[in-house]
């Protein structure tokens, strides 16, 4: 928890310095003080988004790296008269990079899931030799009492295809919507947060049937897309996202007396040319 909070503050500080620098540059322009025009060009927006995202994610974000690379590329093309002749390849290359990222991520998570299932089978084999076969409904209770079930049976929701909708009983959520629309409902009493990524697509996540205690983090990254979250009205939702040319709307019906301070959902991330909407019923 602590490290996530530090990273978020670092990203917020950098964004603040960028806004400060832009203000100084505009003031210098009004005073007819010379400075390079490219400092206020539109590719610098992409570079700023990339730098902020990389800092917040300890330089391990493909989204941040992609934004930084695109910004540098367009800046060189536009301001320094470097003609690579690669403009027509930028979009397909970006799609290829996203595809490689999703494939490698899915394989890594699938391997983790297979390892977990193997541990479950090994534990079941060892326990079946010492204990009789449980009756219907007893296997779940047995795992819950031992603490093994809550640790190993939760699985992530893997998405990346268009038109996906459904229900998940997992304790965590992991959704990547690339040029697609995804609707998901979470049914869990031990929600542990997760990550949502929407690029040229949309995500509708319904958390009204979920519950948790304490504080959980939900990471959201949006670029030319949108995410809508529906949460219970008594959750304490704290939005700490960086939005650039984007809209972040909190449309919940807020009543101070109904807020449960023991249920704190912290939403962090970056919204770039997109939207984030939070609602409750």
At 147, phi and psi to the nearest 5? 85, -5
pLDDT tens by residue, the chain, 281 residues = 444 443 444 555 666 677 787 788 788 877 877 777 777 777 888 888 888 778 777 777 777 888 888 888 888 877 766 666 666 676 677 777 777 766 766 666 666 666 666 766 666 666 555 555 554 444 444 444 334 333 333 333 333 344 456 788 889 999 988 778 899 999 999 999 999 988 888 999 999 999 999 999 999 988 888 999 999 988 999 998 888 778 888 888 766 667 888 899 999 988 888 899 999 87
Task: Compute the distance between CA of residue 130 and CA of residue 275 in angstroms, rounded to an integer.
Answer: 55
Model pLDDT, residue 65 = 84
Q: At what angle do helices 43-56 and 62-79 cross, to 10 degrees?
A: 160
Task: Compute the distance between CA of residue 95 and CA of residue 131 in angstroms, rounded to an integer.
Answer: 53
Query: Which residues, 6 or more positions from 69, have their beta carbon under 8 angstroms from its beta carbon?
Result: 50
Task: Compute the distance between CA of residue 23 and CA of residue 224 in angstroms, rounded to an integer.
Answer: 26
Task: Compute the distance between CA of residue 277 and CA of residue 229 in angstroms, rounded to an integer.
Answer: 6
Task: Compute the distance between CA of residue 216 and CA of residue 79 in angstroms, rounded to an integer.
Answer: 44
Tokens of residue 162, six digits: 């268009």
Model pLDDT, residue 34 = 76
Residues forming a β-bridge with 195: 174, 219
Model pLDDT, residue 124 = 61
**Coil/strand/helix, residue 174:** strand
């Amino acid at each position: 928890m602590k490290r996530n909070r530090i990273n978020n503050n670092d990203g917020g500080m950098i964004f603040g310095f960028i806004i400060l620098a832009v203000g100084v540059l505009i003031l210098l322009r009004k005073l007819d003080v010379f400075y390079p025009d490219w400092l206020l060009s539109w590719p610098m927006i992409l570079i700023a988004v990339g730098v902020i995202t990389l800092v917040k994610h300890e330089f391990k974000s493909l989204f941040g790296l992609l934004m930084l690379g695109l910004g540098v590329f367009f800046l060189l093309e536009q301001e320094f008269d470097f003609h690579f002749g690669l403009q027509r390849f930028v979009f397909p290359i970006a799609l290829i990079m996203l595809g490689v990222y999703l494939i490698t991520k899915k394989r890594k998570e699938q391997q983790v899931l297979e390892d977990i299932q193997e541990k479950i089978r090994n534990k079941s084999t060892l326990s079946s030799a010492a204990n009789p076969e449980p009756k219907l409904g007893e296997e779940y209770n047995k795992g819950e009492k031992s603490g093994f079930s809550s640790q190993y049976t939760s699985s992530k929701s893997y998405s990346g295809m268009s038109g996906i909708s459904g229900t998940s009983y997992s304790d965590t959520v992991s959704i990547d919507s690339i040029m697609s629309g995804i609707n998901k409902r979470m049914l869990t009493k031990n929600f542990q947060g997760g990550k949502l990524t929407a690029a040229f697509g949309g995500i509708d996540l319904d958390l009204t049937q979920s519950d948790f205690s304490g504080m959980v983090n939900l990471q959201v990254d949006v670029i030319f897309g949108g995410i809508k979250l529906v949460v219970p009205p008594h959750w304490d939702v704290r939005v700490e996202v960086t939005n650039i040319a984007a809209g972040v709307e909190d449309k919940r019906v807020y009543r101070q007396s109904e807020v449960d301070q023991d249920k704190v959902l912290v939403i962090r991330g970056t919204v770039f040319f997109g939207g984030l909407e939070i609602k409750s019923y």
